[in-house]
Each structure stands twice: as C-alpha cells, then as structure tokens.
Amino acid sequence: MTAHAGEDVEMACSFRGSGSPSYSLEIQWWYVRNHKDWTDKQTWAASQLKASQQEEAGKDATKISVVKVVGSNISHKLRLSRVKPTDEGTYECRVIDFSDGKARHHKVKAFLRVAPEESAAPRRHGSSAPMHLVPPSPWGQALLGAGGGGPVPPRRAVVQDPRLPGRRGRRRQSP
C-alpha cells in the first residue's frame, strides 16, 4: 500500500476461529524496516510457523503491540498518524491461536510505501489498498485490511483454504 508523507494510515487485522468454545487468542503487530523481499508465492503451510521460525523472523523485527482475549474471534487496528518515510516497511499481524491446546501461528503482512508529501493537490487522509494475505488454516481465517480516516473505505481480502469442507478453491472478497 502507498501513503503520502503526513497522511494517517490504518491497518486492521482480524481472526475468526472455527467453533463456538472460547479459547485463548493473541494478536501481535510487528514492524520490519524496509523488508520488501516477501512475495505472494508463499504456500498455505507458511501460515503455520514453528516456534523456532517465529523467533528467527523476530530477529529483524520490532513488536509494536500485543492484545490477548479469550473467545473465538479477535481483531485489532494499527493506526499510524502523520506517516514519515522512516515508517516505510513491512507491517505484520500475527495471531496465536490456542484452540486445541497448542499454539498455532497465523500471519498476514503488508508493505507500506511512503511517498513524498503532495504539495498542490488536495489532501486526502488515509490510504487503501489490497493486502498480501497468507491463506488461513482449517482452524480459522485471518483478514487484513487497510484504510485511513478519509472517505475511502478500507478494502478487505479473505482467502479460504481449498481444503476447508464445502469450499472450492480460493475465494477473495472485497467490499
């Protein structure tokens, strides 16, 4: 996604578990400075990370926030006010799902590019763009959207794993 310097940016991440019993969920926001080398070519299994892989991924990253709940759904918005070129980089939302007694890790990420401030053009706060999304596991689905405080509503993408019962192929939705 692209925003101009001085704009406000909002990224929303949510996770919907499968099933009604309550269990522990944790949502984390991470920042990896100027990390453009991730691609859409990650496999479905990439959303399931072992603890050692999580630790390796965190070596070059900074944890921004952590929210914990007991339930089957979790969501959190990351708001960046008056972005600067130094805010450019990869923002990653990680959800830790303890639904079956052991931790399952799900992640989605987006690269924020900060363009120079617009001079003569009318200012529009906020930015909206489709986001990279790692397909969810059969235990739930993850969602990442971006938007700002202006008139542009955030776009959202949902990717279903083709192995989920009753689903054929991958499905994307955008309001």
| Segment (H or E) for 54 | helix 51-58
Q: What is the pLDDT of residue 143?
A: 53
The C-alpha R_g of the chain, in whole angstroms, comes to 16
Q: What is the pLDDT of residue 36?
A: 52
Q: What is the pLDDT of residue 22?
A: 82
The contacts of residue 86 (CB under 8 Å, 6+ apart) are none
Q: Residue range 60-74: average pLDDT? A: 89
Give me 24's structure tokens: 């522990």
Give me 70's structure tokens: 């007991």
**How would residue 106 be classed by pLDDT, with cut points 50, 70 and 90?**
very high
Computed over every residue of the chain, the mean pLDDT equals 68
Answer yes or no: is pLDDT of 145 > 70.
Answer: no
Q: What is the CATH number of domain 2-158?
A: 2.60.40
Separation of CA 78 from chain center: 10
**How would residue 118 be classed by pLDDT, with cut points 50, 70 and 90?**
confident
Are 91 and 110 a contacting pair, CB within 8 Å?
A: yes
**Lowest mean pLDDT: which of 60-64, 83-87, 120-124?**
120-124
Give all strands (DSSP E) within the chain, no chain letters.
Answer: 2-4, 9-17, 23-33, 62-71, 73-80, 89-97, 104-115, 132-133, 140-147, 155-158
Are 149 and 168 a contacting pair, CB within 8 Å?
A: no
| Segment (H or E) for 16 | strand 9-17
Task: Output DSSP code: residue 45.
Answer: G
Provide the 3-class DSSP secondary structure of residue 58. Answer: helix
Answer yes or no: is pLDDT of 122 > 60.
Answer: no
The single residue listed with the structure tokens 């959207």 is 145
